Structure formats: C-alpha cells, structure tokens
Amino acid sequence: MTTTTEAVDQVFLYIFGISVVLLLAITATMVWFVVRYHRTRQPQPQASPRSNLWLETAWTIIPTLIVLSMFWYGWQGYTTLRNVPEGAMDVKVSGRKWSWSFTYPNGRVSDILVVPVGRAIRLDITSEDVLHNFFIPAFRIKRDAVPGMHTYEWFVATEPGSYDAFCAEYCGVAHAAMITTIEARPEADFDDWYQRKYETKEEQENGRQQLATYGCTGCHSLDGSKMVGPTLLGIFGRQVKVTRNGQEHSLIIDREYLKRAIVDPQAELTQGYPPVMPAYNWLTAEELEKIVEYLEELQ
C-alpha cells in the first residue's frame, strides 16, 4: 500500500525537480543571451526571422506534456489520499474550542490519537463549534473540520513513534494551541491500551477520562507542566492571584472557586494566562461535582 507520505512526497519532489531544472535552464539561457548579444558584439540590431514553426511547435508541445505529467502524477497522489485502504480502523475526530477528541470504535475516548503501527486509520472528522482543521504534517494530511459535516482523511504509521498534530485554522485566539500527539505503537501495545477501557467501569468514568472527553487536557497538563492554561496537578489548595472585575485578588483554590472557574472562567482569571477558556456552563451539577472531586485528588 502506498502511504499518504509517499504519495505526497513523490509528487512534491517531481514538481520541485522540474522547477529547479527550469529555473537553472532559464537563468543560464538568460545569462548566455546577455553576453552573446551584448552591444559591443552586436552594434547594429539584425533582422531576425518572423517565425519558426518547429521551434514554436516544440515550445508548445513540450511544456504541455510536462504540465500534463504533473497533473497526472498529482492526480495519482490525490486518489491515494482519498481512497482509504480496506480494513482501516475508523476513529472519530472532533474539534472544539480549543482541543481535539478522538473516539474509537469500542467507545474509548482519548485526547491523544494512539494508533497501531502498520494499520491504516480512517479519521472521520467533524467540529462541535467553529471551523477547525486537522493537520498531521508527518503523514502529509490536512482536512477541514466543519460543524454539521463529516470529512475524512486516512494515514498509516509505518514506524512506532510520536508525531505532532495541529489545528491549521488560524482564525481565532487559540486554534494554535490545539496541539496533540499521534502515538504509533506496536500492535500488541496498542491492543493493551485499547482494551484497557474495559478494565473497570470506574476507569471508564474516572476523572482523567472526563477531563480528556471535555477537552480540558488540551490546555491543562496533569503533570505540572505549563501549557495554555495552568497545570491541574496540585491545583487544589494552590494560592493564586486572579483578576476579578479588573481588581487583583489573592485566593486559595477550593471547591467553590474550581466550580466557578469551570462554569465562568473569565470572571476570575488566573494572572499570567490568556482569557481563552470557553465557559463550561452546560455541564450538569453532577458532572461538575465529579470533575472537582477528581481535581481535589490530583496531588
């Protein structure tokens, strides 16, 4: 099977190669003409032939063939990108302000895309709010995520490793922060990860999973590192400075503050972070309680 990376790279190199050859040939010819027909060598302009059928035919047919070959080659690459190999695993990709979420056929939800090496993955892409664009440079695929519509792309990772994925729709404050990871693991490792969803009912419902599902972990790390927003590790009991109605306040994070910060993040903004978090005012009281409970334990 031709991978998307091969398909795109071959066409790119082909067109790039032709462009380089043309650039060099045209520049060399220009320089040669400048020297050859310099005024010191040709003081008087000479009559030149009005037409040359052979030359004109050649410079019409040859470039046409070159451009047609680019089209044909590009079309091959395009059909590779649009034709998903049989037996591909279907993963739903959903973009929202400001994170990605991946849903697997068994219902497992994740904020990173874990895939088995060597198996084609078909991404079924949509958006929950505005236009996004799911872009994986390593696999040369990039597709709009459109609310109310499903688009698709596919890829296969031939080597284990982790690859970056971005939102390439730079029309709002934090699309650039919608960075996530594609983790390609050997089949057995992947199965391990994939089946773990069914280990316990609790794990399925636990806070970490919730945070991933709601997209929190797109901006808040769980390991202490700084991302778009403050880390959630040890957030409970942390002393922070917030801006409330333009005034600076110092407070210790407790259950009540956490709830307010989730439902109406702009009201009391932690200093040093951009005002980009959407309001999670659609969460049910029960969901909110569960998240806060989990955050309390995240020490």
Q: Rounded to the nearest 5°, which phi and psi values hold at 25?
A: -65, -45
Beta carbon nearer to Cu ion, 92 or 259: 92
Beta carbon nearer to Cu ion, 138 or 146: 146
| Amino acid letter for position 276 | V
The string of DSSP codes covering 178-244 is: --EEEEEE-HHHHHHHHHGGGS-HHHHHSHHHHHHHHTGGGTS-SSS---SS---TT-TT-EEEEEE
Beta carbon nearer to Cu ion, 125 or 261: 125
Q: Which token pair is 253?
A: 């994070």
List of residues 6+ apart from 243 with CB closer than 8 A = 249, 268, 269, 271
Please report how close the Cβ of residue 136 comes to Cu ion at its closest, in angstroms: 14
Q: Three-class SS of residue 88?
A: coil
| Count of CB atoms situated within 10 Å of the CB of 158 | 14
**Footprint on this chain of Cu ion (rule: CB under 5 A):** 132, 167, 169, 175, 178
Closest CA to 233 of 263, 208, 251: 208
Q: Which token pair is 205?
A: 């419902």
Please report how close the Cβ of residue 174 comes to Cu ion at its closest, in angstroms: 8
Closest CA to 152 of 213, 74, 84, 100: 84
Residues listed for the chain? 299
Please report how close the Cβ of residue 169 comes to Cu ion at its closest, in angstroms: 5
Beta carbon nearer to Cu ion, 63 or 147: 147
Going 146 to 149 to 155 to 157, the CA torsion angle's sign is positive
Please report how close the Cβ of residue 123 comes to Cu ion at its closest, in angstroms: 15
Beta carbon nearer to Cu ion, 215 or 230: 215
Please report how close the Cβ of residue 266 comes to Cu ion at its closest, in angstroms: 19
Q: Rounded to the nearest 5°, which phi and psi values hold at 114?
A: -95, 130
CA distance 182 to 46: 66
Beta carbon nearer to Cu ion, 3 or 180: 180
Please report how close the Cβ of residue 147 comes to Cu ion at its closest, in angstroms: 11
Please report how close the Cβ of residue 148 comes to Cu ion at its closest, in angstroms: 16
> Residue 288 CA to chain centroid, in angstroms?
29
Please report how close the Cβ of residue 72 comes to Cu ion at its closest, in angstroms: 34
Beta carbon nearer to Cu ion, 169 or 183: 169
Beta carbon nearer to Cu ion, 28 or 173: 173
